[in-house]
């Protein structure tokens, strides 16, 4: 790691996150000589400050939930206690193991990793600076995969002490007594779940009419109900006006329904989005165009400058780790293989709250906006034997199919195991399967997957166990 980049490379990748390191490995598999430039840590935001550490914290919160609820299953022991130092140790161990694993893979494939800040000198040359030392890297092609950074909203006081972002949220020394979260998308809701379980009084402020605004209203309602039951105060259609210092803490002033309200907190977490990380690249030097969300690319992820590609969060400001990885593979297949495949209508999205949410393809609201006639099949986990055994019966599986052909064009799941159940539905959307195909597939009993088969039947008006 960090060895000097010498010679000429077939491709150089800027960024060693889920797009960069996966793309590098695939290029190496295809016989390319590859270099990666990374200015912070191998693994990027996902492994170091995002997906992995947050899911480690979420697992700890889930264990706490299970321990507190064990008596209803006939299991008794003392009241569980949260050891924050132990929780952080688990989180740090997960990060260390996975980052170390990525480094091993890069070493295995003889991929050169140059640690430092990248600046584009030309479509074939990158300057890498680290601790005052500079080296130049020559390459035939460049893939920009620099990812994104938290968006700090232009709110008076949003850059003061006691204001944190999602990057900081996974690494607090302990849960604050009172926390205000600005933004109730996937990231905001995940942190609300974790900190509310750890004893923090959480208040959420979302400017749109519902939490997790990208999901259908019926999905959001299930999560909102669960968060509210755990003590989270949810305020929708709330626009933050200012954040002020007050008695050693923070006073958040927001507007809702034409009225001005306020809430006190010890800390404020900004979770209202991310933006493409393009600093220091000097893109204008090579003529790469930028649009509002990030670097402008075509349908094959090419920039307007020959020999330079871009993928992942740096082209859209926000994104998903698995989408970024998939896009990087497409670039490498196009450059060194037989051409890569990606279906933007079959991108799975996961929210790791309690209950979990998973969705793919068209939402019901998307179909309505496009004037597409669909058939909806919903089946509740309350009617599934495995869910009853687990004691987690809230939520449902919803399948969205074209009314004329029965083709599955989208699906959403809210409830136990939603993020795992989504895989079958993603495959259905990707392969253009029909609800009859899904219904014809035998689902083992007793499993949560039975809800998928029943939802497919429900879309045809034939659900067996629908109450």
Domain that holds residue 206: 163-272
- pLDDT category, 174, cuts 50, 70, 90? confident
The pLDDT mean for the chain works out to: 94
Within-domain flag for 3? no
Q: What is the CATH number of the domain that holds 198?
A: 3.50.50.60
Q: Name the packing angle between helices 321-336 and 18-29 (round to 10°).
A: 30
Q: Which residues pair with 380 in a beta bridge?
A: 396
Same domain, 322 and 240: no
Same domain, 217 and 249: yes
Q: State yes or no: pLDDT of 3 exceeds 50.
A: no
Q: What is the CATH number of the domain that holds 375?
A: 3.30.390.30
Within-domain flag for 240? yes
Q: What is the pLDDT of residue 241?
A: 96
pTM of the entire predicted model: 0.93
Count up the domains in the chain and report the number: 3
Within-domain flag for 464? no
Dihedral (CA of 432, 436, 440, 441) sign: positive
Mean pLDDT of 169-183: 91
For residue 104, what is the DSSP state? H
Same domain, 193 and 125: no
Measured distance CA(360)–CA(11) in Å, rounded? 32
Q: State yes or no: pLDDT of 7 exceeds 70.
A: no
- For the segment 197-248, what is each residue's pLDDT rounded down to a tens digit? 999 999 999 999 999 999 999 999 999 999 999 999 999 999 999 999 998 8
Decide: 166 and 37 in contact? Cβ < 8 Å.
no
Measured distance CA(229)–CA(378) in Å, rounded? 24
Q: Identify the domain boundary among 336, 357, 389.
A: 336
Decide: 52 and 59 in contact? Cβ < 8 Å.
no
- pLDDT category, 2, cuts 50, 70, 90? very low
Within-domain flag for 102? yes
Same domain, 237 and 320: no
Same domain, 177 and 253: yes
Within-domain flag for 81? yes
Q: What angle do CA 395, 324, 117 make, to 5 degrees?
A: 135
Same domain, 143 and 15: yes
Within-domain flag for 2? no
SS3 393: coil
SS3 5: coil
Mean pLDDT of 379-395: 96
Within-domain flag for 1? no
Q: Identify the domain boundary among 304, 336, 368.
A: 336
Q: Which of 90, 445, 449, 465 is catalytic?
A: 445
Q: Write the secondary structure of 113-172 as one string of H (helix), E (strand) and C (coil).
A: EEECEEEEEECCEEEEEECCEEEEEEECCEEECCCEEECCCCCCCCCCCCEEEHHHHCCC
Residue 201: other Cβ atoms inside 10 A: 18
Decide: 172 and 266 in contact? Cβ < 8 Å.
no
- For the segment 97-115, what is each residue's pLDDT rounded down to a tens digit? 999 999 999 999 999 999 9
- Is 443 catalytic? The answer is no
Residues 119, 122, 123, 125: what is their CA dihedral angle, to the nearest 10 degrees? -70
Q: Which residues pair with 102 in a beta bridge?
A: none
Same domain, 52 and 146: yes
For residue 329, what is the DSSP state? H
How many Å is the Cα radius of gyration of the chain? Answer: 24
Mean pLDDT of 165-184: 92
Q: What is the pLDDT of residue 251?
A: 96
Sheet of 356-361: strand order equals: 349-351, 356-361, 408-415, 396-402, 374-380
Q: What is the pLDDT of residue 229?
A: 95
């Amino acid at each position: 790691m960090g060895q000097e980049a010498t010679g000429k490379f077939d491709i150089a990748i800027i960024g060693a996150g889920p797009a960069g390191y996966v793309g590098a490995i695939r290029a190496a598999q295809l016989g390319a000589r590859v270099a990666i430039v990374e200015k912070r840590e191998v693994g990027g935001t996902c492994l170091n400050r995002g997906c992995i550490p947050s899911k480690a914290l979420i697992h700890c919160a889930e264990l706490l939930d299970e321990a507190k609820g064990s008596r209803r299953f006939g299991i008794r022991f003392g009241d569980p206690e949260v050891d924050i130092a132990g929780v952080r140790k688990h989180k740090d161990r997960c990060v260390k193991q996975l980052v170390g694993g990525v480094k091993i893979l890069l070493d295995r494939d003889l991929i050169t990793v140059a640690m430092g800040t990248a600046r584009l000198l030309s479509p074939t040359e990158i300057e890498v600076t680290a601790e005052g030392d500079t080296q130049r890297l020559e390459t035939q092609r460049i893939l920009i995969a620099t990812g994104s950074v938290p968006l700090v909203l232009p709110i008076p006081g949003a850059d003061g002490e006691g204001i944190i972002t999602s990057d900081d949220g996974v690494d607090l020394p302990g849960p604050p007594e009172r926390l205000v979260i600005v933004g109730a998308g996937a990231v905001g809701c995940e942190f609300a779940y974790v900190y509310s379980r750890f004893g923090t009084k959480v208040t959420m402020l979302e400017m749109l009419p519902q939490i997790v605004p990208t999901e259908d209203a019926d999905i959001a309602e299930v999560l909102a109900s669960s968060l509210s039951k755990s003590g989270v105060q949810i305020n929708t259609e709330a626009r933050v006006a200012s954040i002020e210092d007050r008695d050693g803490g923070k006073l958040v002033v927001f507007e809702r329904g034409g009225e001005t309200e306020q809430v006190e907190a010890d800390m404020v977490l900004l979770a209202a989005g991310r933006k493409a990380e393009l600093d220091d690249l000097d893109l204008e030097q090579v003529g790469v165009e930028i649009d509002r969300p990030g670097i402008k690319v075509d349908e094959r992820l090419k920039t307007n400058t020959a020999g330079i590609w871009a993928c992942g969060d740096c082209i859209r400001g926000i994104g998903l780790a698995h989408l970024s990885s998939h896009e990087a593979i497409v670039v490498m297949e196009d450059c060194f293989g037989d051409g890569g495949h990606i279906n933007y209508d079959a991108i799975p999205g996961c929210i790791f709250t309690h209950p979990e949410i998973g969705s793919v393809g068209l939402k019901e609201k998307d179909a309505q906006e496009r004037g597409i006639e669909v058939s909806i099949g919903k089946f509740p986990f309350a009617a599934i034997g495995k869910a009853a055994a687990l004691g987690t019966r809230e939520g449902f599986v919803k399948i969205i199919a074209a009314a004329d052909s029965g083709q599955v064009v989208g699906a959403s799941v809210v409830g136990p195991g939603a993020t795992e159940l989504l895989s079958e539905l993603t495959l259905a959307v990707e392969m253009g399967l029909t609800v009859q195909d899904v219904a014809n597939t035998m689902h083992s009993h007793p499993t949560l997957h039975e809800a998928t088969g029943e939802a497919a039947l429900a879309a045809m008006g034939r659900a067996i166990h629908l109450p």
